Amino acid sequence: MKQFYNSKSLLRLSFLFVLLFSAITVLNSCKKDDDDEFQDHVVQFEVKTSTGGKIISVVTQVGTTQNTIYNTTATPVTSPWTSGEFFVNSSQAQLNLDANADMPDATSELTINLYIDGEVARTVKKVGKGVLTASLDYSFLEP
């Protein structure tokens, strides 16, 4: 009888252990489901020219929304130009920045930057005389 009691106790203990292990596994796997797949980021575009350079146009695109800015006498675009900070959800996937500038000499530089969460995510620099074009693309979905 005593041996029967010990095996019955052992069976109950092993059942309790399996139940506890299953509960911990389920709770741990659900913890990963609580994370948001997409996050908001602070984004800013910037276009800079060296001394004497004149920005001709700036084109920004966030997702499918495009914005074109032309340098005219009514709406001058001065260097450095910045878009100002704005929020973008990473579900938007694609950010694009293009700029044209008329540069005075062979050592002139046109630089465009993309800032994400206050840090430079991409930079493109073009050097030369005449009209220079710089373009950058960024995707939240690509590592």
Q: What is the pLDDT of residue 107?
A: 94
Q: What is the pLDDT of residue 82?
A: 94
Q: What is the pLDDT of residue 138?
A: 93
**Closest Cα to residue 55, out of 109, 99, 97?**
99
Residues in the chain where the model's pLDDT stays below 70: 1-8, 10, 29-36, 143
pTM for this prediction: 0.72
Spacing of C-alpha 56 from chain mean position: 27
Q: For residues 98 and 4, give the distance between their C-alpha atoms in angstroms, rounded to a whole number.
A: 81
